[in-house]
């Protein structure tokens, strides 16, 4: 279709903004794009998924497919799931921008990386590739090689540096901050320009870039996959003083393309498990690293691997804990049909308010967990009352009012759940003392209860119930403000108003009005991206709660309703 002068144009993509800017890749067959090293186009961009997208070229047509990436695929500013590319189209993956184009083959533009040859007069140099165990032993037995006082001082300083580094990273419990600490330590102790930390996906075994940093101004970091794979697959620590001339890394490999003249890589080993690798390189320097630099990198990688594994274990425990909370929450929502999704929305409202109030991340984590359990006591309420379609009688309401205490009773014997009891026990107390179960007032009501009380009421006002329609959000805000200082804590009300005015609550409302790019699941409040192609109304499955929802469109406004 795009022939010129009888010659079929050659389709190609080129990175125009972001890591690897200027890189070109010819489109033949199918290519994959993502953070993982096994992709045809590997992008060291934290906003890009490990396997983000593929472009398939068949019969002269190039089609890009979103592989379910968290940040989606955008072509010319519009989100797409499947899109036939045309010359000049601009593709955005995370923060990286790629241009699709076509060129005449005789010009030689748009050739793939494997076709780019860099001439070099330098002969292949011998590199060092040693087992991690051998390198570690050499570092620890350095006293056998010391020949003068200067070497003793240097060895002592290296040991002190590794000890200090270990002390720094062993205290960190957040993976992102931990990797940043490791990278900072590596770059402060080793004369490298760039540092990257790659981790292995536990399910697929694929390596992906989780951290990257350069000390050079305006420098992109492009990792040599050949060196990293050699280190990980053979459990070797590698040092090369002239990677561009190394016989083991052919002239067409990535080390040549990025002018990497010196590089080192050490695998991250924990017991018998390879977690990933630490990679460093120096640009334009043929002899940047020495044997002792490799020993130091290996010495740093050992405690780094232990810390990474510890954080991984903690994250697994946290996921198990959260999964347990979700199971309990689902049990409540299955019994209380009319408030399905209520728990998730209240939690999201409360989290936004807590952030606005300046709560730290540890407290916000408690809000996330306490929010989903604030109504756990409804498990003890009769089904007939929970499923009643009309207003409750006074006697029925008295039974419902027992749910805060019943919920607290359910959690009282769990060491991990005890900190969440205030969210459950006090969220129906009123600031003026007219609430239940204890009639507490003002600051006598724990902060957690005061926070959830506002979020809970706001969701009730903006949600559909058998006995009332959802109020417009502006009117709901006005009602909450009118009860400021009587039913509700003034500070919490003010925080809600600021969040609402800033648009930070838009994605949570049960009426799910949103722009043309997204919608919120009516059951779990998950932010769901809307495909830009297809007819309406359309049924699809929420990727989180797996409920079937029906998507409708009226002009530029979208709405959704629960099917199953």
The pLDDT tens digits along the chain (564 residues) read 333 333 346 788 888 887 767 677 778 778 889 887 777 787 877 778 888 999 988 877 889 998 888 788 998 888 888 888 988 889 999 888 899 987 643 322 222 222 222 222 233 344 455 555 555 555 455 555 556 666 656 666 666 767 677 777 878 888 888 998 898 888 888 888 888 899 988 777 888 888 888 887 666 677 777 788 888 888 888 888 655 555 555 544 454 445 556 889 999 988 888 899 999 988 766 677 888 888 889 888 988 999 999 998 888 887 787 778 777 777 777 776 556 578 888 998 999 999 999 999 889 989 989 998 999 998 888 888 877 777 889 999 999 999 999 999 999 998 888 999 999 999 999 999 999 999 999 999 999 999 999 999 999 998 877 667 788 899 999 999 999 999 999 999 999 999 999 888 876 765 443 344 667 777 665 566 665 556 677 777 765 455 677 878 777 677 777 775
Say yes or no: 263 and 293 in one domain.
yes
Say yes or no: 473 and 527 in one domain.
no
Phi, psi at 425, each rounded to 5°: -75, -30
Q: Tell which of 103, 127, 160 closes a domain.
A: 103
Q: How many CB atoms lie within 10 A of CB 513?
A: 13
Say yes or no: 463 and 553 in one domain.
no
Domain assignment present for 326 = no
Domain assignment present for 172 = yes
DSSP readout, 389-449? SSPPPHHHHHHHTTHHHHHHHHHTT-TTTGGGHHHHHSTT--TTS--SSS---GGGS-HHH
Checking phi first, is residue 150 left (phi over 0); if not, alpha (psi -120 to 50) or beta? Answer: alpha
The CATH number linked to 70 is 2.60.200.20
- Pick from 213, 261, 214, 264: nearest CA to 236: 264
Q: Which two tokens stand for residue 556?
A: 């530029």
Phi, psi at 194, each rounded to 5°: -130, 145
Say yes or no: 37 and 160 in one domain.
no
Q: Is 556 helix (H, G, I), strand (E, B) or coil?
A: coil
Establish how many alpha carbons lie within 13 A of residue 99's alpha carbon, considering only the half-sphere containing its beta carbon.
13
Domain assignment present for 510 = no
pLDDT at site 5: 34
Give the global pTM: 0.56
Say yes or no: 148 and 297 in one domain.
yes
- Pick from 557, 551, 549: nearest CA to 516: 557
The CATH number linked to 430 is 1.10.3210.10
- Cα 393 from chain centre: 47
Say yes or no: 276 and 146 in one domain.
yes
Q: Which residues pair with 212 in a beta bridge?
A: 196
Classify the C-alpha dihedral 105-109-110-112 as positive or negative. positive
Say yes or no: 29 and 133 in one domain.
no
Domain that holds residue 250: 116-314
Q: Which two tokens stand for residue 555?
A: 């002009």
Instruction: Write the DSSP symbol of residue 35.
Output: S
Instruction: Write the DSSP symbol of residue 463.
Output: S
The Cα-based distances of 366 to 176, 345, 418 in angstroms read 20, 16, 11
pLDDT at site 409: 95
Distance CA 234, CA 196 (A): 19
Domain assignment present for 546 = yes
- Pick from 512, 511, 510, 478: nearest CA to 496: 478
Domain assignment present for 325 = no
Say yes or no: 96 and 131 in one domain.
no
pLDDT at site 422: 97
Say yes or no: 176 and 39 in one domain.
no
Q: How many CB atoms lie within 10 A of CB 29?
A: 9
Say yes or no: 232 and 351 in one domain.
no
The Cα-based distances of 340 to 226, 335, 375, 382 in angstroms read 51, 9, 12, 17
Establish how many alpha carbons lie within 13 A of residue 165's alpha carbon, considering only the half-sphere containing its beta carbon.
29
Q: Tell which of 502, 533, 548 closes a domain.
A: 502
- Cα 199 from chain centre: 14
The Cα-based distances of 273 to 105, 309, 416 in angstroms read 46, 10, 31
Phi, psi at 134, each rounded to 5°: -65, -45
Distance CA 260, CA 369 (A): 47
Strands 61-66 and 73-75 come out as unpaired
How many domains is the chain partitioned into structurally?
4
Domain assignment present for 413 = yes
Domain assignment present for 78 = yes
Establish how many alpha carbons lie within 13 A of residue 62's alpha carbon, considering only the half-sphere containing its beta carbon.
26
Distance CA 64, CA 517 (A): 18
For 127-159, letters b (16+ CB in 10 Å) and e give bebbebeebbebbeebeeeeeeeeeeeebeebe
Q: Which two tokens stand for residue 442?
A: 């003002």
Phi, psi at 428, each rounded to 5°: -110, 10
Q: How many CB atoms lie within 10 A of CB 66?
A: 21
Domain assignment present for 329 = no
Q: How many CB atoms lie within 10 A of CB 442?
A: 13
pLDDT at site 257: 45
The Cα-based distances of 322 to 380, 416, 425, 452 in angstroms read 22, 11, 20, 19
The CATH number linked to 265 is 3.30.450.40
Q: What is the end-to-end Cα distance of the chain in Å, rounded?
A: 45
pLDDT at site 15: 85
Say yes or no: 244 and 292 in one domain.
yes
Say yes or no: 470 and 381 in one domain.
yes
Q: Tell which of 452, 470, 502 closes a domain.
A: 502
pLDDT at site 543: 55
Q: How many CB atoms lie within 10 A of CB 450?
A: 24
């Amino acid at each position: 279709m795009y022939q010129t002068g009888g010659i079929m144009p050659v389709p190609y993509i080129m990175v125009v903004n972001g890591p690897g800017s200027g890189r070109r890749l010819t489109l033949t067959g199918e290519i994959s794009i993502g953070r993982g090293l096994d992709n045809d186009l590997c992008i060291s961009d934290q906003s890009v998924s490990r396997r983000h997208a593929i472009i398939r070229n068949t019969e002269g047509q190039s089609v890009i497919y979103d592989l379910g990436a968290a940040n989606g695929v955008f072509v010319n500013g519009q989100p797409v799931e499947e899109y036939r590319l045309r010359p000049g189209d601009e593709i955005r993956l995370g923060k990286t921008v790629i241009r699709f184009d076509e060129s005449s083959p005789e010009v030689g533009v748009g050739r793939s990386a494997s076709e780019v040859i860099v001439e070099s007069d330098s002969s292949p140099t011998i590199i060092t590739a040693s087992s991690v165990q051998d390198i570690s032993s050499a570092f620890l037995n350095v006293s056998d090689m010391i020949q003068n006082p200067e070497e003793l001082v240097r060895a002592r300083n290296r040991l002190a540096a590794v000890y200090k580094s270990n002390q720094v990273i062993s205290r960190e419990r957040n993976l992102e901050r931990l990797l940043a600490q490791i990278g900072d330590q590596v770059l402060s102790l080793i004369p490298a320009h760039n540092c990257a930390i790659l981790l292995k996906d536990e399910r697929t075994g694929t390596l992906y870039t989780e951290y990257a940093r350069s000390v050079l101004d305006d420098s992109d970091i492009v990792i040599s996959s050949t060196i990293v794979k050699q280190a990980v697959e053979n459990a070797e620590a590698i040092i090369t003083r002239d990677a561009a001339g190394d016989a083991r890394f052919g002239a067409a490999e990535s080390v040549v393309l990025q002018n990497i003249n010196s590089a080192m890589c050490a695998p991250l080993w924990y017991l018998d498990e390879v977690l990933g690798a630490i990679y460093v390189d120096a640009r334009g320097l043929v002899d940047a690293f020495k044997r002792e630099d490799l020993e130091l990198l290996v010495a740093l990688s050992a405690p780094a691997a232990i810390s990474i594994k510890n954080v991984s274990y903690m994250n697994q425990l946290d996921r198990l804990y959260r999964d347990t909370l979700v199971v309990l929450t689902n049990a409540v929502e299955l019994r209380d049909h009319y408030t399905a999704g209520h728990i998730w929305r209240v939690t999201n409202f409360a989290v936004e308010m807590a952030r606005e109030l300046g709560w730290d991340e540890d407290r916000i984590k408690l809000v996330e967990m306490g929010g989903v359990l604030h109504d756990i006591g409804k498990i003890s309420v009769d089904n007939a009352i929970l499923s009643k379609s009309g207003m409750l009688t006074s006697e029925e309401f008295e039974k419902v009012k027992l749910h805060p205490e019943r919920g607290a009773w359910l959690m009282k014997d769990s060491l991990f759940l005890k900190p969440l009891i205030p969210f459950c026990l006090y969220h129906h107390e009123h600031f003026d003392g007219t609430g239940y179960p204890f009639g507490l007032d003002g600051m006598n009501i724990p902060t957690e209860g005061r926070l959830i009380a506002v979020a809970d009421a706001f969701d009730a006002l903006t949600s559909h119930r058998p006995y009332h329609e959802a109020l417009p959000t502006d009117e709901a805000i006005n009602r909450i403000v009118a009860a400021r200082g009587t039913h509700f804590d003034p500070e919490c009300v003010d925080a809600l108003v600021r969040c609402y005015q800033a648009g930070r609550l838009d994605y949570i409302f049960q009426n799910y009005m949103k722009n043309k790019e997204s919608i919120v699941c009516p059951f779990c409040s998950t932010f769901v991206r809307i495909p830009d192609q297809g007819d309406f109304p359309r049924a699809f499955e929420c990727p989180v709660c797996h409920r079937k929802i029906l998507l409708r469109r009226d002009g530029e406004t979208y709405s959704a309703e629960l099917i199953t």
